[in-house]
Amino acid sequence: MEDPNLSFEDAIEVADAAVFASKGRHLTDVEMIILRGSWQNQTYPEMAENSDYAANYLQRTAGPKLWVLLSEVLGEEVKKTNFRTALERLQGSRQYRRLPAQQSFFGAEGAIRESPLQQTWSPIATELEFPEGPVALDSPFYIERPPIESDCCLAILQPGGLVSIKAPRHMGKTSLLNRILDRVTAPGIRTVNLNLLLAERGILKNLDLFLRWFCQRITRELQLENKLDEYWDEDIFSSNTNCTDYFEEYLLTEIEGQLILGIDEVDRVFAHPQIASDFLSLLRFWHESAKENGIWKKLSLVIAHSTEVYIDLDVNKSPFNVGLPVKLPEFTPAQVEDLARRYELEMSPELTTQRLSALQGMVGGHPYLIRLAFYHLRRQDVDWEELLAKASTDLGIYRQHLEGYWATIQEHPELKIALKQAVLGTKPVPLELRTTFKLVGMGLVKRLANGVEPSCELYRRYFLDKLRHDF
């Protein structure tokens, strides 16, 4: 009989598959943070220490929502104290399944093909997806941003290819990464998608432990035997050398064809300088090795992160300035209009121009904020006038989204002071570099030549009101 006890990685897989089967979406970053912390019996303040989220937000908003979600999905009351046994029961009953493989990015003759949604689209009568987390691979609501998708796929199929995706939170990094890996799947190509949010806090305090975890996770995804002990010699070699040998002499040798490795949430290591510099240098070294060592041509990397690198990293050892760097832009007016059609929002041409312009005047072309607006409009929770009038208030559709940011800002005085300068400024405001990177990564401000400014009018209005009363 199969051992009912789950590892944390098993638990995440079971929970994600169950949520996807029931709700048509994957677990979000904050949900994974709460599950990981709960698995380790952490308090919410402890969970907040190594995340961008405030303890109050995790405890009072995100946590309760997650337990309600899992209760609905699993059909029993799920709490922070019992979710592990609930997931063990689900695994034991075999009621969950792995997510189905999606269509290949290759045509019958091996030629790269366009996404089906890029070729044609027609409204699909299906339950609306709540716009939270990555956009499902089969979702009709994913908007391509040409030529980014095709450029990424072409780059990653090159021997030793490397693509680095950078964008603030909620801009679509994970959705893009998932599609790259999905579309290049073909005979002779293996893909692994690793999210560093899975790494427990203790693992991130030691380079050797982190790299062993990193190798073990990839070994498991490739369904190979774990041979770390055979290739790891801590007495003689460095952790980076052991990790490189394990890839070169075992993983890349054992598999046939190309391995495309996606690493999401890479900036999680930035807060741990004891591992960040060595790990990022290692990724750069592997990419450069493809020029000299044939076996490294089998490895391609897709890495995604939210913020600029704010650790001391030699430019010649950075993986972010080689290969194909991708900065995800906001949606254009034409893409916003395309998305409105997919949500079947009925408007005359005159109203379309007027209303979409007003919405973009409030939230710019921010994919998540646009999708959330269209979701509520399609459900007829609000009309256009109410949505725009209450958008930046505690009564609007963005309330929970804004409250989460506000809770985080309140717990970081340096961010609060900097954000107040930005929202009060009538022109771009220069800020300390690390603070700038953090606010840009959160998506609250955008960088211009002479400083930063709020990334959209929604954030300017909301935080201006909050910060005026807070000081």
* Residue at 465 is within a domain: yes
Domain shared by 301 and 382, yes or no: no
Chain centroid offset of residue 32 CA: 11
Domain shared by 383 and 353, yes or no: yes
User: Given this model, what pLDDT does residue 311 score?
Assistant: 66
Token pair for 393: 């208030």
* 3 state SS for the chain: CCCCCCCHHHHHHHHHHHHHHHHCCCCCHHHHHHHHHHHCCCCHHHHHHCCCCCHHHHHHHHHHHHHHHHHHHHCCCCCCCCHHHHHHHHHHHCCCCCCCCCCCCECCCCCECCCHHHHCCCCCCCCCCCCCCCCCCCCCCCCCCCCHHHHHHHHHCCCCCEEEEECCCCCCHHHHHHHHHHHCCECCEEEEEEEHHHCCHHHHHCHHHHHHHHHHHHHHHCCCCCCHHHHCCCCCCCHHHHHHHHHHHHHHHHCCCEEEEEEECHHHHHHCHHHHHHHHHHHHHHHHHCCCCHHHHHEEEEEEECCCCCCCCCHHHCHHHCCEEEECCCCCHHHHHHHHHHCCCCCCHHHHHHHHHHHHHHHCCCHHHHHHHHHHHHHCCCCHHHHHHHCCCCCCCCHHHHHHHHHHHHCCHHHHHHHHHHHHCCCCECCCHHHHHHHHHHCCEEEECCEEEECCHHHHHHHHHHHHHHC
CATH code for the domain in which residue 233 is found: 3.40.50.300
* Residue at 42 is within a domain: yes
Domain shared by 438 and 367, yes or no: no
Last residue in a domain, options 276, 301, 327:
327
Q: CA triplet 146, 301, 292: central angle to 5 degrees?
A: 120
Domain shared by 348 and 420, yes or no: no
User: Given this model, what pLDDT does residue 471 score?
Assistant: 54
User: Given this model, what pLDDT does residue 93 score?
Assistant: 59
Domain shared by 291 and 426, yes or no: no
* Residue at 111 is within a domain: no
Last residue in a domain, options 372, 395, 418:
395
* Residue at 102 is within a domain: no
Domain shared by 146 and 287, yes or no: yes
Domain shared by 465 and 412, yes or no: yes
Residue written as token pair 């710019």: 364
Domain shared by 407 and 453, yes or no: yes
Last residue in a domain, options 292, 309, 327:
327
pLDDT beneath 70, residues of the chain? 1-5, 50, 52, 92-127, 310-311, 470-471
pLDDT digits (tens, 9 = 90+) for 345-387: 878 887 888 999 999 999 999 999 999 999 999 999 999 999 9
How many CA atoms lie within 13 Å of 443's alpha carbon, on the beta-carbon side? 30
Domain shared by 78 and 164, yes or no: no
Domain shared by 375 and 451, yes or no: no
Number of domains, the chain: 4
Domain shared by 382 and 408, yes or no: no
* Residue at 172 is within a domain: yes
User: Given this model, what pLDDT does residue 112 score?
Assistant: 41
CATH code for the domain in which residue 442 is found: 1.10.10
Domain shared by 279 and 219, yes or no: yes
* Residue at 129 is within a domain: no
Domain holding 255, by residue range, is: 142-327
**Beta-strand pair 189-195/451-454:** unpaired
* Residue at 1 is within a domain: no
